[in-house]
Amino acid sequence: MITLQTKKVLDEFFKLCPDAESCMRVSREEIQEVIKTLGLQGKRSAMLQRLSCEYLSESWTHVTELHSVGKYAADAYAIFCTGKWDEVVPNDHMLNKYWDFLHTL
């Protein structure tokens, strides 16, 4: 579940970087300032910019080839972005709730 602190950070981050292209254009320091309350802002800002760069390169064929994308992110991508929710079995309890809901449709 998203905490109030995390929601505030996400809101501010998406104002600064509404897409992968803008995430690559803004300075790492600007990203660090927005996400600093989450900790590890140096590592996370570098990761976000690397992920954005790889995503835009279009040289990947599966989302797990992108930097820092694990099972949770891959399952969420399949469910929410590609519509291939029926090809994954998520482990996360919140993804499972939505996945179960989709099975009722």
Q: Is residue 92 flagged as an active site residue?
A: yes
* Diameter over CA atoms, the chain: 45
How far apart CA 16 and CA 23 sit, in angstroms, is 8
**Whole-number Cα distances in Å, 88 to 3, 67, 98:** 26, 20, 12
The catalytically annotated residue of 11, 86, 92, 100 is 92
Active-site residue list: 92
